Chain A
């Protein structure tokens, strides 16, 4: 049985073509919800599936190597902040060796909470890995991973502290992190092209501490965090309109970067569409959605995917439409789209289920009513 309070962690940069087991579309939908913060209990709530089915899905995702479960407890309190000295894989100390210990692959490190994955699974450019002969590969991968995701993690995540951490904890974390990434630690060493990465990490760590160690600055920063938060509660429980259609408060610096990346991907997708490269266009929209959970872009991707031949495309189309529905729970368009896709693929039971959901939202919608009547006759 899976523990309700466990927060599964997505694994970054997976080779989707060579998965050990093939997850179902529903599994993929759940995957899109896993961010290292939502608990299994919350995932069950949002899955729209029975509890057992959801658990089975999660297990499949673990088997496929797409997510992993964190260890039950961070190992020894004195464990270093970062996971270079790998504590994973080691047997639990005998005194606590309990039969309930989960069988999931364990890397004990609370450090990567909120990060998109783990450095171990980060794939580095091979050329870069050849650089910096004085460093070990684990460190290089870690730095490269961190440098690549600096703009997408919060200052808290960067330092590896809780949102409510006290001044002392923040200072301790900052000192530890500095000891790993301050350029002085590599004095006289050949870092090659890793050098700028190390520097960018240190600069970011620095900025994080300068903000979080200053009462006023921290409050201000916290303010920007809660308005653009990606935390599961605000995402799944509230019926917010899309952030793009809302007059949002001025984005924080990292969010500005996110906006930019989102814009670039959107334009990329449009270009592919113009060139009639629909699969590529859909991939761009999917990536864009990964950066900003914008329902419109998900719908656009789903609409492209459903027109492509191939089972994979269909399940992905459903997935994206579901993601859009997730963003706008009060909007019937995504639900109708899901219903349409299932219907096209002759999965009438599921199709019916989604039209009915749509009807709950808009009981007077004529076309939805017609579809339901039609499907009911078919089944």
Chain B
């Protein structure tokens, strides 16, 4: 049976799950944790670090540690998202060859899909360890509010990681799947409120007879836990500056420590009324004087600092309800997802808005991955009577004369969907039409996300308006856009996948895949070497013991054996130093035979 793993590729944390014996299960990583930080770093020695390991060294290696890469994936150079990260992130963001953003780590440029692929790879390894075989297929989740470019880039990440992403699904939808899985008689309208580290999503769904029908979705790709942390950082920095006339945010190391402390404080305030923030030696003045940060933060003060953020999320909920054509009374259950929903003020705001206590039925950190694994099984196995009817979060359209945006597919249209539109020539003897495709919700085309432009050429030379081209816009079940153009006169067809101009080229992808495969081979070799070295150090100790025991015996045979063993020990030590695979293996074999020889002499 084909296994499809479900991966929640989060801004802050990632999680992997698989359906086992008909039950979705989260797979814990080597450390025993069910989620893995979405952090990638390159150490000073050039080693790739992922997850917990990367997080641990983040403060001391901030420039080469990438977190929240998801905020940048599929974004264009110069876009507000990129500008924002350039201002706030300690790692270096540079312009890529396709008007995209790239991250410079220890002198090497990484595209965002590459960074995400490293995390996907790690989750794949977590699953592999557990399943005992390499998973080939995965369902990967993205925020519901992701546009086509961001989805495409996420798919690219899967390709680089050697994973066949069979479906991209929306995070809140996935959470709803986890919620409704196994409840055959469920007939309800639910709201999924997902506030994670970087993004906010809200989706309204109707669930009945195993069908999960998304009525509407809304969100903000710039609203998440990090923004809450930032408020604390700002508050602490201002307080500190008032006292010491020093802006801690200007110092990289101080800023990292502040960030760390802010998040810790935020999390503590979810369970406590007050928390202590203590950062000794946070700053050393030119005079050599050391400054310490020592303060208390109350839950009330924190809630005051983030009141507008909480309100922003509530307002978006209102929009989603309205788009669904419903009232808050129509919602039977509210599902909370994402680490930030542990904050009491968030829970209260949800309760106030929906007029009911949110459900505790799903785990806020695990539901998304669980749902992804459910969808994976529903796709490849015939025995799952589950169907997801998701929607496209943004309108799809084209630029028309004067720069306006003409919507062809409205936001919240159920996918897959398609729409045909006729274009006519506007000038005499015009032999080509140019079509510029946008996604977004603004009436001015340029304010929306540019998905791509293409030209349908080779049209018959004729008076204006005489030639018609039929263009079909298609949105797949992944939410990915493709366009087909047809010359109505000649029947000539043109199929275009609207690739983001900032997307990776085929060749780049190819190179990245190869590079990643090399890395994996090296990683496996490293692991093998490590195992042999452990074995060797054990053998060394054993053989040394045997030699001491037998040394001094009269027998020539024993003497010879001890000499041989001593040589093997010497070579073994050398091989331990050199870390050369072949040398280690040879020395290991020699030690092994020396050991059996000595043992046979003892008996």
Complex: chain A residue closest to B388, CB-CB: A184
Complex: chain B residue closest to A216, CB-CB: B325
- Min Cβ gap B507→A in Å is 29
A179 proximal to B (CB < 8 A): yes
Complex: chain A residue closest to B207, CB-CB: A175
User: Given A182-B389, A206-B414, A210-B414, A187 and B209 touching (CB < 8 A)?
Assistant: no
A88 proximal to B (CB < 8 A): no
CB within 8 A of A175: which of B166, B208, B413? B208
Are A199 and B387 in contact (CB-based, < 8 A)?
A: no
Are B387 and A178 in contact (CB-based, < 8 A)?
A: yes
B303 proximal to A (CB < 8 A): no
Are A210 and B208 in contact (CB-based, < 8 A)?
A: no
B418 proximal to A (CB < 8 A): yes
A214 proximal to B (CB < 8 A): yes
- Give residues of chain A (193-230) contacting chain B, Cβ–Cβ below 8 Å: 199, 202-203, 206, 209-210, 214-215
Range of interface residues on B (Cβ < 8 Å): 20 to 34
Are A184 and B379 in contact (CB-based, < 8 A)?
A: yes
A122 proximal to B (CB < 8 A): no
User: Given A184-B379, A188-B379, A178 and B389 touching (CB < 8 A)?
Assistant: yes
Query: With A and B bound together, what is the CA distance between A184 and B416 in angstroms?
Result: 10
A171 proximal to B (CB < 8 A): yes
Complex: chain A residue closest to B414, CB-CB: A206
Residues 149-193 of chain A, each 1 if its beta carbon lies under 8 Å from chain B, else 0: 000000000000000000000011001101100111101100000
Residues of B within 8 A of A178 (CB): 211, 387, 389
Residues of A within 8 A of B388 (CB): 184
A-B contact count (CB 8 A): 48
CB within 8 A of B416: which of A171, A172, A176, A183? A183
Are B418 and A203 in contact (CB-based, < 8 A)?
A: yes
B213 proximal to A (CB < 8 A): yes
User: Given A175-B209, A214-B325, A187 and B380 touching (CB < 8 A)?
Assistant: yes
- Give residues of chain B (442-490) contacting chain A, Cβ–Cβ below 8 Å: 477
User: Given A184-B379, A184-B388, A188-B379, A179 and B211 touching (CB < 8 A)?
Assistant: yes
Query: With A and B bound together, what is the CA distance between A188 and B414 in angstroms?
Result: 21
- Min Cβ gap B184→A in Å is 14
B571 proximal to A (CB < 8 A): no
B206 proximal to A (CB < 8 A): yes
CB within 8 A of B387: which of A172, A182, A203? A182
Are B379 and A187 in contact (CB-based, < 8 A)?
A: yes
Query: With A and B bound together, what is the CA distance between A65 and B385 in angstroms?
Result: 38
Are A171 and B208 in contact (CB-based, < 8 A)?
A: yes
B interface SS class: strand
CB within 8 A of A188: which of B380, B389, B413? B380
CB within 8 A of B477: which of A171, A184, A210? A184
User: Given A172-B209, A187-B380, A179 and B387 touching (CB < 8 A)?
Assistant: yes
B378 proximal to A (CB < 8 A): yes
Residues of B within 8 A of A199 (CB): 416, 418
Query: With A and B bound together, what is the CA distance between A203 and B409 in angstroms?
Result: 12
Q: Of residues A183, A184, A188, A214, which shows the largest number of chain B Cβ atoms within 10 Å of its Cβ? A: A184
Residues of A within 8 A of B385 (CB): 179
Are B213 and A175 in contact (CB-based, < 8 A)?
A: yes
B417 proximal to A (CB < 8 A): yes
User: Given A171-B206, A172-B209, A178-B387, A203 and B417 touching (CB < 8 A)?
Assistant: yes
Are A202 and B416 in contact (CB-based, < 8 A)?
A: yes
Query: With A and B bound together, what is the CA distance between A214 and B211 in angstroms?
Result: 19
Q: Of residues B385, B387, B414, B417, which shows the largest number of chain A Cβ atoms within 10 Å of its Cβ? A: B414
- Min Cβ gap B164→A in Å is 11
- Give residues of chain A (18-71) contacting chain B, Cβ–Cβ below 8 Å: none
Residues 324-347 of chain B, each 1 if its beta carbon lies under 8 Å from chain A, else 0: 010000000000000000000000
Complex: chain A residue closest to B389, CB-CB: A178
Are B387 and A184 in contact (CB-based, < 8 A)?
A: yes
Query: With A and B bound together, what is the CA distance between A206 and B477 in angstroms?
Result: 13
CB within 8 A of A183: which of B206, B208, B380, B477? B477
- Give residues of chain B (381-410) contacting chain A, Cβ–Cβ below 8 Å: 385, 387-389
Residues of B within 8 A of A187 (CB): 166, 379-380
Query: With A and B bound together, what is the CA distance between A163 and B100 in angstroms?
Result: 52
Complex: chain B residue closest to A213, CB-CB: B325
Are A185 and B387 in contact (CB-based, < 8 A)?
A: yes
Residues of B within 8 A of A179 (CB): 209-211, 385, 387
Residues of A within 8 A of B213 (CB): 171, 175
Query: With A and B bound together, what is the CA distance between A188 and B213 in angstroms?
Result: 22
CB within 8 A of B378: which of A176, A183, A184, A210? A184
- Min Cβ gap B323→A in Å is 11
- Min Cβ gap A161→B in Å is 16
Residues of A within 8 A of B389 (CB): 178, 182
Q: Of residues A182, A214, A215, which shows the largest number of chain B Cβ atoms within 10 Å of its Cβ? A: A182
- Give residues of chain B (190-215) contacting chain A, Cβ–Cβ below 8 Å: 206, 208-211, 213
Residues of B within 8 A of A182 (CB): 387, 389
Are B417 and A206 in contact (CB-based, < 8 A)?
A: yes
Complex: chain A residue closest to B385, CB-CB: A179
- Min Cβ gap A273→B in Å is 26
Residues of A within 8 A of B416 (CB): 183, 199, 202-203
Complex: chain B residue closest to A199, CB-CB: B416
- Min Cβ gap B43→A in Å is 41
Q: Of residues A172, A175, A206, which shows the largest number of chain B Cβ atoms within 10 Å of its Cβ? A: A175
Query: With A and B bound together, what is the CA distance between A250 and B440 in angstroms?
Result: 30
Complex: chain B residue closest to A187, CB-CB: B379
Query: With A and B bound together, what is the CA distance between A331 and B418 in angstroms?
Result: 45
Query: With A and B bound together, what is the CA distance between A187 and B416 in angstroms?
Result: 13
Complex: chain A residue closest to B375, CB-CB: A184
Complex: chain B residue closest to A189, CB-CB: B382
Residues of A within 8 A of B211 (CB): 175, 178-179
Residues 255-291 of chain A, each 1 if its beta carbon lies under 8 Å from chain B, else 0: 0000000000000000000000000000000000000
- Min Cβ gap B473→A in Å is 12
Query: With A and B bound together, what is the CA distance between A199 and B475 in angstroms?
Result: 12
Residues of B within 8 A of A202 (CB): 416
Residues of A within 8 A of B418 (CB): 199, 203
Complex: chain B residue closest to A175, CB-CB: B211
Residues 166-186 of chain B, each 1 if its beta carbon lies under 8 Å from chain A, else 0: 100000000000000000000
Contacts A/B (CB < 8 Å), 23 sampled: A171-B206, A176-B209, A178-B211, A178-B389, A179-B210, A179-B385, A179-B387, A182-B389, A184-B379, A184-B387, A184-B388, A185-B387, A187-B166, A187-B380, A188-B379, A199-B416, A203-B416, A203-B417, A203-B418, A206-B417, A210-B414, A214-B325, A215-B325
Pairs A-B, 6 closest by C-beta atoms: A175-B211, A187-B379, A206-B414, A179-B387, A175-B209, A182-B387
Given contacts A178-B387, A179-B211, 20 further A-B contacts (CB under 8 A): A171-B206, A175-B211, A178-B211, A179-B209, A179-B210, A179-B385, A182-B389, A183-B416, A184-B378, A185-B387, A187-B166, A199-B416, A199-B418, A203-B417, A203-B418, A206-B414, A206-B417, A210-B413, A210-B414, A215-B325
